[in-house]
Amino acid sequence: MVFHPVDTTAKRLMSNTGKIRSASQLNSVIFREKAGAPAGGRFLSLFPGLGYAAAYKVLQRVYKYGGQPFVRDYLAKNYGDGFDRTFGKGNGKAIMHATAGSLIGIGEIVILPLDVLKIKRQTNPEAFRGRGVFRIVADEGFGLYRGWGWTAARNAPGSFALFGGSAAAKQYYYHLSDYNAATWSQNFVASIAGASASLIVSAPLDVIKTRIQNRNFEEKESGFRIVSRMARQEGFTSFFKGLTPKLLMTGPKLVFSFWLAQTLIPAFNKVL
């Protein structure tokens, strides 16, 4: 909940198709119709979609952080030697952790409708037209999975970088042979490396995904057309809109949750 306003800010910046040239224009893009309201009113305007966000993040974190170790162990048991032969002993282990993260990230699209509803609440609440969640699910059905291909394309390198960056820090910076033996401080630094790499690598695809999913339900536009228009009208930097607030605030959120998972999961394994 604490970081939700930053997520809303990032999504609105991603959705903005123009160039921001002044502080007042930035204020209008972020706070929209509340741009002229007092500070408290502007702050509260950044909380739409909080319920969807909470449900999505809980399910996402449980699935991703809980599922990656199972996929990693499966790969280690069946293909561990192949990774070592292909990439070298230390490299193979880090790549295997990253690959497990990438595979689990792709499967994340199962809970995509919650993310879609969250994004629409944050950037285009008119799309709901007064309908509740059950009415929308009944009306739209699989339309709530619009942009699933771009979501998978974002999650694959993003999760690869998240788990791979963390593994690389433990492998090459701390020279750990057993990643589960990392101290809480080592996990914290490794989580910073993984979270930063994940946000930067996935940024362009995240912008495209957001623009597909923030539209009215009946409006359909291909991701490739969005890419073409962005490159032509907004330039290369448009693919990284919203990255700064994500790195400043969402980055620490991801660092904290990932660090907690990396620290607690091995501890629970020892107890069990």
Query: Rounded distance, CA 260 to CA 170, Å?
Result: 16
Average pLDDT score over residue span 176-195:
88
pLDDT at position 51 is 94
Run of H or E including 29 = helix 23-31
Is 248 in contact with 5 (CB distance < 8 Å)?
Answer: no
| pLDDT score of 271 more than 70 | no
* Tokens 């693919």 found at: 239
Amino acid code (one letter) for 143: G
Residue 13 corresponds to which tokens in the numbers above?
């910046």
| pLDDT score of 129 more than 90 | no
Residues 229-264 pLDDT 10s: 999 999 999 999 999 988 887 567 667 777 677 777
Average pLDDT score over residue span 11-39:
94
pLDDT at position 250 is 59
Residues 135-181 pLDDT 10s: 999 999 988 999 999 999 999 999 999 999 999 999 999 999 888 88
Three state DSSP letters for 145-159: HCCHHHHHHHHHHHH
pTM of the entire structure?
Answer: 0.88
Residues 47-89 pLDDT 10s: 999 999 999 999 998 999 899 999 999 999 999 999 999 999 8
DSSP helix/strand/coil, 134: helix
Average pLDDT score over residue span 178-189:
88
